[in-house]
Amino acid sequence: MDHPTQPDSPPVTESEVFVVVDSATNGRLNHSRNVNGCIISPDTDNDNKGKGRWETLILAYKTLGVVFGGLVTSPLYVYPSMHLKSPTEDDYLGIYSIMFWTLSLIGVVKYASIALKADDQGEGGTFALYSSLCRNMNIGMLTSRPTNSSSSLSPSLLDEGTEKQSRLAKFFRKSVVARRVLLFIAMLGTCMVIGDGILTPAISVLSAMDGIRAPFPSLSSSVVEALSAVVLIILFLLQKFGTSRVSFLFSPIMGAWTLCTPLVGIYSIIHHYPSIFKAISPHYIFRFFWRNGREGWLLLGGTVLCITGSEALFADLGHFNRSSIQIAFLFTIYPSLVLTYAGQTAYLIRNPNDHDDGFYKFIPKSIYWPIFIIATLAATVASQSLISATFSVIKQSVVLDYFPRVKVVHTSNSKEGEVYSPEVNYILMILCVVVILIFGDGKDIGNAFGVVVSLVMLITTILLTLVMIIIWRTPPMLVALYFCVFFVMEGVYVSAVFSKIPEGGWIPFAISFILAFIMFGWFYGRQRKLEYELTHKITLDRLGVLLSDPSVQRVPGLCFFYTNIQDGLTPTLGHYIKNMKSLHQVTMFTTLQYLLVPKVAPHERIVVKKLGLKGVYGCVIQYGYADPLNLEGDDFVSQVTKSLQAHIQNCSGRLPSIPSEIQEEISDLEEARSAGVVHVRGKTRFYIGHNCGWFDRIMLAFYEVLHSNCRSALPALGVPPPQRIEVGMLYEA
């Protein structure tokens, strides 16, 4: 079974569609390829845009307001999230050593140096790694068989690539269970990132606003929670203006925060404990665990929060580029965090009982209020990084058909990775407010946050290891070194945070379970529909028989008939002809095809071909999961008809044709368009009979609920309402 090509597309804007004429007689598109056989999109490669140094530096400055908010504001809640009991100087030195090496190894080595190089043509995140693996191994993303018709590779290249594949890649090609496990890991990572987008705003804003209670002890925690909820609501209402405008507004705030906190940290180091950097020595870590044992292991659930937001560094890659993110992290964020945590630890060594309010206590009273204002604004910005990452992940899930269609708006003309979804935005807003109001204790939210952070990091490590083996062909010793270091390190973190599940850690599991159930229900329903359509497809020979029936008329007009499959036509077509007893004079069977690449070159976006029957043609619209697709009604029709005319003339140059027949075909096309254009798609539902098992009954009923409440595909294509026709049909489950 090939990868499903759905006529359902997320609503997007700000895109121009180009048309290319298929020059092959068999209608197969000849892509431009790189050495690995992947589609090349030079104009969409983030790192080959020829940006000058100043432009890169400006872009790096903008990343402060979008990418690093969650990471750089983590000092607000790391120490307060730890359950410390009578900590000593050695305890604090051990904790700082753990945080320093966590930031250095996971932040600098894993994400900034390795993960950013594993982008999928400029796109980052869990799905980018997953799609790269699927494309490289030539396995379907949703199905159990390799993708052929929907692949960007020719058969010869596929065969050649298969011979050169590693043993692990061949194992995935042969094992259905292995592919399903890989799919589950990708889904889990996606759900955890979305959960991160809920918890980051909650804990960041709540921790910052809690500082108001120091000068005003009479304020209750409920007042702080209410103020935090108001700040979050305002933040989510600003999302519709787009990431570019948000980053322009928020980057100065994060710049001030990134500069102020390390300066306060330096002051604290000098004033309280100048020799704090001796804790960089790893032997303090061994002494910490030797002395504290199980209690030290449990404290890892708090120390892991020092690396919160690091996944956004990778997931937000589509919003910026590799160079800008690396520059911002290595030269501003990383030094700022090292100095800030050093200053906090130096203060706590001299004031060991102030760990519950470890950030605001170490702020000198003379600058308390300015820092409080900056902290509150910075915490608001911190929420932005994961919100942006959540939008990106949802968009990728929608276009890959893992998630029900929601409205996805491109908010920038120049950056296709900048997206916004109204439905997702307001759902996130409601969940964030609920988390704050119900789980107002920062420690409970911190426990939940630790589960998300550690699991997402572990999943990224697993997928990156597969990328090294299958795609990069990294020497085995280096792969083993990478895997052992990071899998063991993050595995220990995961084991520690799992002990916090009863104390708030269940929150992300509940959120992830709901999201995973939605994704699996949608995936299962789409697969069952595809299986039915492939089993009951209408072949061209069958279509010829149907049209030869004297009772079937060819009515004037141009019809775009949307079909999910290319190897045959949708069963809805047979249902339509049998009941309407007609077919339009010129009919274009149109398929939207998702390729396993983030972007398709514009000149390869639309391909047309003749199907061998009079007035019957095929049209394939190809795009990747990071491509916007906006087919504005009449403009789209004009481009397709001009392309088809050129295609007809091009074919006549290779095949013996009578000039009068060619002219007649072109005239019929123009006449049909003048008579009117209509877009037809199937609106199918499952008929769940008595023979269905209980699993099918539950999952297909759930899918129908999702399908009935998600957005239609035709508005996404920019089709005017008067030109839309939906043909209802029941598929027997």
For 380-390, what is each residue's pLDDT tens digit? 877 776 777 78
45 has pLDDT over 60: no
DSSP state of 3: P
pLDDT tens-digit readout, 691-725 = 778 888 888 888 888 888 877 665 556 677 788 88
Q: What is the pLDDT of residue 501?
A: 77
Instruction: Return the percentage of the chain with pLDDT > 90, whole number.
Output: 21
Q: What is the pLDDT of residue 317?
A: 78
What's the chain's average pLDDT? 79
410 has pLDDT over 80: no
* pLDDT tier at 559, thresholds 50, 70, 90: very high
Phi, psi of 714 (to 5 degrees): -60, -40
Alpha-carbon distance 595 to 606, whole Å? 13
Q: Which of 46-55, 537-546, 580-589, 705-714 has the lowest mean pLDDT?
A: 46-55
Q: Which two tokens stand for residue 110?
A: 């894993």
* pLDDT tier at 246, thresholds 50, 70, 90: low
Amino acid at residue number 498: F
Alpha-carbon distance 404 to 42, whole Å? 31
Q: What is the pLDDT of residue 3?
A: 40
Q: What is the pLDDT of residue 244?
A: 62
Coil, helix or strand at residue 431: helix
Alpha-carbon distance 427 to 684, whole Å? 28
Q: What is the pLDDT of residue 109?
A: 95
Alpha-carbon distance 347 to 46, whole Å? 43
51 has pLDDT over 50: no
Q: Show Cβ contacts of residue 656 under 8 Å, excluding neighbours closer than 6 positions.
A: none
Arithmetic mean of pLDDT, 579-586: 91
Helix intervals (H) in 273-293: 283-292
Coil, helix or strand at residue 329: helix
- Does the CA dihedral 31-37-39-45 come out positive or negative? negative
Alpha-carbon distance 346 to 362, whole Å? 9
Helix axes 571-580, 540-548, angle to 10 degrees: 0
81 has pLDDT over 70: yes
Helix axes 633-654, 659-675, angle to 10 degrees: 170
93 has pLDDT over 50: yes
Q: Show Cβ contacts of residue 351 under 8 Å, excluding neighbours closer than 6 positions.
A: 361
Neighbours of 271 (CB within 10 A): 14
Q: Which of 362-366, 497-501, 583-587 has the lowest mean pLDDT?
A: 497-501
pLDDT tens-digit readout, 647-704 = 777 776 555 556 777 788 888 888 888 898 898 888 888 888 777 788 888 888 888 8
More confident residue, 32 or 283: 283
Alpha-carbon distance 194 to 381, whole Å? 17
Arithmetic mean of pLDDT, 168-189: 83
More confident residue, 114 or 359: 114
CB burial of 54-91 (b: ≥16 within 10 Å; e: otherwise) equals: eebeebbbbbbbbbbbbbbbbbbbbbbbbbbeebeeeb
Q: What is the pLDDT of residue 151?
A: 33
338 has pLDDT over 90: yes
Alpha-carbon distance 531 to 539, whole Å? 15
Instruction: Return the percentage of the chain with pLDDT > 70, whole number.
Output: 82
Q: What is the pLDDT of residue 12?
A: 33
DSSP state of 160: H
Q: What is the pLDDT of residue 614?
A: 87
Rg, the chain, Cα only: 28
Q: What is the pLDDT of residue 144?
A: 32
CB-CB contact of 582 with 611 (8 Å): no
- What is the length of the chain? 733
Distance of CA 644 to the CA centre of its chain: 35
pLDDT tens-digit readout, 193-218 = 787 778 878 888 888 888 888 788 77
- 353 CB burial (10 A radius; 0-12, 13-18, 19+): exposed
